[in-house]
């Protein structure tokens, strides 16, 4: 097996790197309606979700929100789903996003959504819950302020697994090889003032350094 993702002529993943095994993989879309794009930047998100199924439903279930990849690598759930070909525009960055001063980020970016609830809150009972009040009983949350200084009430974050970070890195490496026009990877929180994802628990600075410096 290869070290990187295999990507075919239709801009769809056709094989997953050995380092991510075991990993279920699926291509799932019923319509390709976006404009053609030449990707220049990769944007990383969390889905405010608790399962791959919930994440996929959020991205497939409406006409305005989509992303190229939805992924989970947590516990027994290991799955990467491609929802939009990587030469087609998805709807993940939003209208108020700017990358290096340029608007319409969806028109030149690839979006990766990770199944992760984002901020967590400790209740009077000492238990952690997500923004929807659902119990978080997995790893200890990361205690850190958001680097932007925004979101002062959000101080605890659901960790990403090492395998999720590796999956994002290998997706980036595979796409950079396929599309030499890609010159950056950013968090959604770096290109939109009202977004906190992927937040302090994701090693964005380290990933960017490994890929581009």
Interface residue list for Zn ion (CB under 5 A): 45, 188, 197
In angstroms, give the least distance from the CB of 91 to Zn ion: 11
In angstroms, give the least distance from the CB of 15 to Zn ion: 27
Please provide the DSSP assignment of 82-138 as one string.
Answer: E-S-TTB--S-S-TT--BTTBS-GGGGEEEEEE----EEEE-TTS-EE-TT--EE-S
In angstroms, give the least distance from the CB of 43 to Zn ion: 7
The neighbouring-strand residues paired with 80 are 25, 71
Half-sphere exposure (CA, 13 Å, Cβ side) for 171? 28
Nearer to Zn ion, 8 or 57 (CB): 57
In angstroms, give the least distance from the CB of 94 to Zn ion: 8
Distance CA 88, CA 32 (A): 8
Nearer to Zn ion, 50 or 188 (CB): 188
Nearer to Zn ion, 66 or 174 (CB): 66
In angstroms, give the least distance from the CB of 68 to Zn ion: 13
Sheet of strand 69-74: strand arrangement: 24-27, 77-82, 69-74, 109-114, 41-46, 184-187
Half-sphere exposure (CA, 13 Å, Cβ side) for 41? 23
Nearer to Zn ion, 23 or 65 (CB): 65
Around Cβ 179, how many Cβ atoms within 10 Å? 18
Nearer to Zn ion, 54 or 122 (CB): 54
């Amino acid at each position: 097996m290869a070290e990187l993702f295999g990507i075919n002529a239709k801009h769809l993943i056709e094989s997953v790197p050995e380092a991510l095994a075991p990993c279920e993989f699926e291509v799932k879309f019923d319509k390709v309606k976006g404009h053609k794009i030449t990707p220049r930047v990769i944007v990383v998100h969390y889905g405010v979700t608790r399962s791959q199924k919930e994440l996929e439903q959020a991205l497939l279930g409406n006409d305005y929100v989509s992303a190229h990849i939805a992924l989970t690598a947590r516990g027994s759930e290991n799955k990467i789903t491609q929802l939009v070909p990587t030469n087609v525009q998805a709807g993940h960055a939003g209208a108020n996003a700017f990358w290096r001063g340029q608007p319409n980020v969806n028109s030149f970016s690839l979006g990766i959504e990770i199944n992760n609830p984002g901020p967590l809150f400790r209740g009077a009972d000492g238990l952690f819950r997500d923004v929807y009040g659902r119990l978080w009983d997995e790893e200890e949350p990361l205690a850190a302020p958001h680097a932007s200084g925004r979101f002062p009430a959000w101080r605890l974050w659901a960790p990403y697994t090492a395998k999720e970070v590796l999956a994002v890195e290998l997706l980036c490496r595979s796409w950079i090889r396929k599309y030499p026009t890609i010159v950056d990877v950013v968090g959604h929180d770096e290109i939109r003032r009202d977004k906190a994802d992927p937040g302090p628990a994701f090693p964005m600075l380290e990933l960017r350094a490994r890929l581009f410096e």
